[in-house]
């Protein structure tokens, strides 16, 4: 016997309840009016959908504060908890406008952290002072078996949360095709032991997340198809960035510094990155592989076109059409693998596989430091995600960005970034629509000249040259800076709405 149209094996059928019953069971575990929950979800995929709105309402009515740990963002789930004003702490990445406001206003405590290290950090008690014991792992699944469950379109930190939590609550999403079974490779890194993986397509774990039967507190039926945003056709700027990067790859191949099929590629999330990888389709490259956090449409299209031969990720963030096709066509996807984030973002593997990391910056200063998380150094955007994991350990660390935004009012190349996520030490290549800056082997003074001349927008080059020369003449130093004018671009933006009005 099975229940829920064969999605749950008979031994667990008695645990199938409605969302309100499940939410009340979770709430009963609260201690000192606080509940600690680790949830599934990475990007817009795999987060719990049915219980959060009910639990948020009950927590608000009973004056219970909720602390949420995820793998990364959890879209609608965050919206429910934020709208009921019950979140006390949220780690380590988010993507919700209301939650951002609460974080910026100090209502919700948020710590941005490298996603590859995040499960390890929790497992080793580094959050004991602020969070304490993880009481519940709240996860989404496509199937529940006697010995465990099959996740949906992402894995993230789910295996770690299931291992650490006192109880597990499972939402079985019957809208997710059971054909996803077999694509996951669940492996937990063992401290001090090498991860036995040598190729992108290697499978070293199991297709399910194991969980002791006695840990399962409740099972709820869920509905809803996850997907990434609607594909956006790349514009002129994005296409030029892609062309510049591809020309750089070809030059590296011709000089013997890269193989003809490159090394495994990592793609950060976003339309600029998506445009770059779409351009690979016409570049004549073959036998490419991706070792990355998130697979977007561009990577999956390259796989089905035969340009990519293997894809490894922790989340499938696909458009509705591509997701439907993926579920329907199971042939030929043997080399697509979904893994936990502490495997996909593991520094040892990124270095071993010689990954080429391609990430997007919000702003880059003339010495190569990158800000990808904060506006004007104060307001959080989403979080660092995995860019720090990849850029630090990568064979080659590349950051791409349009040179300007907001119709030229904001320059992405600035004298000093207002927040440093990735230091210049971990930035090898910078690419804008104007050119490629190869920073390898350059001193800070050499980097400044290359970045200003090749990557900055012409409208800002004179201002940047003026800043650099004044800093050189007045203060000098290994990294010439003027402390009173380093943020002149940002001050002009705040006061005049246009960085071109900066006073140097």
Please give the Cα distance from 489 to 410 (Å, whole number): 8
Give the pLDDT confidence score for residue 268 in this predicted structure. Answer: 83
Do 190 and 311 share a domain, yes or no? no
Give the pLDDT confidence score for residue 453 in this predicted structure. Answer: 98
Which string of DSSP letters, residue by residue, matches 60-82? Answer: HHTT-EEEEE-SS--HHHHHHHH
Domain count, the chain: 2
Please give the Cα distance from 414 to 504 (Å, whole number): 12
Do 260 and 180 share a domain, yes or no? no
- Taking each helix axis as running N to C, give the angle between helix 51-61 and helix 19-27, from 0 to 180 degrees, rounded to the nearest 10: 50
Do 92 and 32 share a domain, yes or no? yes
Q: Please report, for the domain that includes residue 371, its CATH number.
A: 3.40.1080.10
Give the pLDDT confidence score for residue 182 in this predicted structure. Answer: 95
Query: Which of 179, 197, 222 is at the close of a domain?
Result: 222
Give the pLDDT confidence score for residue 227 in this predicted structure. Answer: 80
Q: What is the extent of the structural domain holding 61? A: 2-222
Query: Which of 222, 246, 272 is at the close of a domain?
Result: 222
pLDDT tens digit sequence for 4-62: 989 999 999 999 999 999 999 999 999 999 999 999 999 899 999 999 999 999 999 99
Do 117 and 45 share a domain, yes or no? yes
Please give the Cα distance from 115 to 350 (Å, whole number): 14
pTM for this predicted structure = 0.95
Residue 343: inside a domain, yes or no? yes
Do 274 and 371 share a domain, yes or no? yes
Query: Which of 222, 247, 278 is at the close of a domain?
Result: 222
Do 200 and 257 share a domain, yes or no? no
Residue 435: inside a domain, yes or no? yes
Do 440 and 475 share a domain, yes or no? yes
Do 320 and 467 share a domain, yes or no? yes
Structural contact between residues 281 and 305, judged by C-beta atoms closer than 8 angstroms: yes
Residue 349: inside a domain, yes or no? yes
Give the pLDDT confidence score for residue 332 in this predicted structure. Answer: 83
- Looking at 117, 293, 363, 433, which residue is catalytic? 293
Q: Which residues contact 159 (CB under 8 A, 6 or more apart)?
A: 119, 186, 188, 209, 340
Structural contact between residues 361 and 420, judged by C-beta atoms closer than 8 angstroms: no
Residue 231: inside a domain, yes or no? no
User: Burial code of 443-476, b = ≥16 C-beta within 10 A, e = fewer?
Assistant: ebbebbebbbebbbbeebbebbbebbeebeeeee
Do 401 and 261 share a domain, yes or no? yes
Positions of the chain with pLDDT lower than 50, given as ranges = 1
Tell me, yes or no, if 247 is annotated catalytic. Answer: no
| Omega before 92 within 30 of 0, i.e. cis | yes
Do 279 and 215 share a domain, yes or no? no
Do 268 and 182 share a domain, yes or no? no
Give the pLDDT confidence score for residue 330 in this predicted structure. Answer: 82
pLDDT tens digit sequence for 183-221: 999 999 998 999 999 999 999 999 999 999 999 999 999
Residue 335: inside a domain, yes or no? yes
């Amino acid at each position: 016997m099975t229940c829920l149209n064969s999605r749950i094996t008979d031994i667990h059928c008695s645990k199938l309840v409605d969302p309100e019953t499940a939410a009340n069971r979770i709430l009963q575990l609260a201690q000192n009016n606080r509940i600690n929950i680790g949830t599934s979800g990475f990007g817009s995929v795999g987060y719990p959908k049915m219980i959060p709105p009910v639990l948020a309402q009950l927590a608000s009515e009973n004056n219970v504060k909720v602390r949420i740990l995820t793998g990364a963002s959890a879209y609608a789930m965050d919206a429910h908890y934020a709208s009921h004003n019950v979140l006390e702490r949220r780690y380590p990445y988010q993507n919700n406008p209301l939650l951002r406001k609460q974080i910026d206003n100090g209502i919700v405590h948020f710590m941005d952290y490298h996603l590859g290290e995040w499960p390890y950090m929790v497992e080793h008690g580094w959050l004991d002072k602020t969070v304490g014991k993880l009481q519940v792992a709240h996860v989404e699944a496509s199937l529940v078996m006697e010995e465990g469950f099959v996740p949906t379109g992402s894995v993230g930190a789910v295996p770690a949360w299931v291992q650490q939590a006192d109880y597990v609550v499972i939402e079985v999403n019957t809208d997710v095709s059971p054909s996803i079974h077999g694509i996951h490779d669940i492996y937990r890194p063992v401290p001090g032991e090498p991860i036995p993986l040598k190729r992108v397509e290697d499978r070293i774990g199991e297709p399910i997340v194991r969980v002791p039967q006695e840990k399962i507190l409740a099972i709820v039926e869920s509905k809803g198809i996850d997907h990434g945003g609607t594909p956006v056709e790349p514009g002129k700027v994005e296409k030029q960035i892609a062309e510049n990067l591809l020309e750089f790859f070809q030059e590296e191949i011709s000089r013997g510094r890269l193989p003809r099929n490159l090394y495994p590629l990592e793609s950060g999330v976003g339309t600029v990155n998506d445009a770059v990888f779409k351009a690979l389709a016409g570049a004549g490259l073959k036998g490419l592989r991706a070792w990355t956090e998130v697979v977007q449409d561009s990577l999956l299209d390259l796989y089905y076109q035969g340009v990519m031969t293997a894809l490894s990720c922790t989340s499938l963030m696909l458009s509705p059409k591509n997701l439907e096709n993926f579920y329907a066509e199971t042939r030929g996807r043997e080399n697509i693998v979904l893994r936990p984030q502490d495997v996909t973002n593991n520094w040892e593997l990124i270095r071993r596989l010689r990954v080429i990391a391609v990430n997007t910056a919000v702003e880059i200063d003339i010495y190569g430091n990158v800000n990808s998380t904060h506006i004007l150094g104060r307001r959080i955007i989403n979080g660092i995600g995995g860019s720090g994991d990849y850029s630090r350990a990568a064979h080659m660390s590349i950051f791409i960005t349009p040179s300007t935004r907001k119709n030229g009012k904001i320059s992405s190349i600035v004298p000093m970034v207002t927040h440093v996520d990735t230091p210049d030490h971990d930035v090898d290549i910078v690419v804008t629509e104007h050119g490629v800056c190869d920073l390898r082997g350059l001193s800070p003074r050499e980097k400044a000249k290359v970045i200003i001349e090749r990557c900055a927008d012409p409208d800002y080059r004179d201002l940047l040259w003026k800043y650099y020369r004044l800093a050189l003449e007045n203060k000098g130093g290994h990294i010439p800076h003027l402390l009173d004018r380093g943020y002149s671009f940002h001050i002009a933006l705040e006061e005049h709405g246009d960085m071109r009005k900066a006073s140097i």
